[in-house]
Amino acid sequence: MEQSRELYDSIGRRHDYLRISLTPHCNLRCFYCMPDEDYDAPPAEAIMRADEIDAIANTFVRLGVKKIRLTGGEPLVRKDAADIIHRLSKYDINLAITSNGTRVHHFIETFKNANIRSINISLDTLQAARFEMITRRNQFEQVWQNIQLLLEHDFHVKMNVVVMKGINDNEINDFIALTKDLQLHIRFIEFMPFDGNHWSGQKVFGWQQILETVSQEYDYYSLTPHQNDTAKSYQAYNHAGTFAVISTMTAPFCSTCNRIRLTADGKLKNCLFSKTETDLLTPLRKGEDIESLIRQCIWDKAPALGGQFAGIVEQIDATEIKNRIKIAIGG
């Protein structure tokens, strides 16, 4: 029988969504992503060049990938970000990007020319002082202005909010209030464990807690899910925008996962929490075929959460989880 061109794992999940990290660098310093002000980033020669990103993306598109999202670090701090976006825009895919929002104003026309219409902006607070505490940078006003700029240009804007108990869980309904008149799509993300981010189950503000908080001020209803959704989506009555919860910790969605991650140094991760990685960049530079490596990596994907943890959140021992720090993985 002829081998399918598409990518399946051993339990039958088809993978057609690739997230490519363009850089392990960022101009913010969010403590849950980059625990230390300085960290040992890979040397420049270890990072994929624009032509290498294009070549690897081309292989994935041939293998059935329908969507590519560019992430970081902060993808827009890369000097050739516009060139990479232009290169990938030639493929018949849904091209999207996740950004911290600080440099978006420089790329509006680049996005339009590449037919990028969906942009995720990471913003964990609506308070300038708290923003500086979380990110260790004074950039709130620039990010907020750029969110409004994107809306003015009719982009589909999703706002990613990592909810952390005792830090920003008291702002949940402030974010919901934004969706009353703005077509923003708020996505509350449960706090997840990565190397060095001092995670504990006690800091997780979960899916049901978020909904209970929303219900204290708003009536809302569930929205029909799409295939492979990671987010449980809702809309408050008479609101222009929507909100959702990505419940990785309290109600994982692994059974329908279709996502693959490529780190900036060319390592393929079949799960955000996978212990192992497959080096694609080294064989690519040697002129070797990488398709068999990709197929094997996807085939070996664990049923859930990289096979590293499960169960009651408060009982998870983060010290036993083997992974990179978040910024070195990509969004």
Euclidean distance between CA atoms 259 and 73, whole angstroms: 18
- pLDDT digits over 257-298, tens only? 999 999 999 999 999 999 999 999 999 999 999 999 999 999
Token couple for 111: 């996005």
175 versus 197: the higher-pLDDT residue is 175
Q: What is the mean pLDDT of the chain?
A: 93
pLDDT at 22 over 70: yes
108 contacts 80 by C-beta, under 8 angstroms:
no
What percent of the chain lies above the pLDDT cut of 90? 80
4 versus 291: the higher-pLDDT residue is 291
Q: What is the mean pLDDT of residues 179-206?
A: 91
88 contacts 74 by C-beta, under 8 angstroms:
no
Distances (CA, A) of 157 to 94, 123, 147, 149: 15, 12, 8, 10
**Element housing 221 (H / E):** strand 220-222
Residue 39's pLDDT band (cuts 50, 70, 90): low
What integer pLDDT is reported at residue 41 of this predicted model? Answer: 76
- pLDDT digits over 47-103, tens only? 999 999 999 999 999 999 999 999 999 999 999 999 999 999 999 999 999 999 999
pTM above 0.85, yes or no: yes
Q: What is the mean pLDDT of residues 239-252?
A: 95
- pLDDT digits over 109-133, tens only? 999 999 999 999 999 999 999 999 9
Share of the chain residues as helix, strand and coil, in percent rounded to the nearest 5: 35, 20, 45
What integer pLDDT is reported at residue 2 of this predicted model? Answer: 39
What integer pLDDT is reported at residue 1 of this predicted model? Answer: 31
For each of the domains in the chain, give its residue range(s) and CATH number, in order of start: 7-329 (3.20.20.70)
What integer pLDDT is reported at residue 38 of this predicted model? Answer: 63
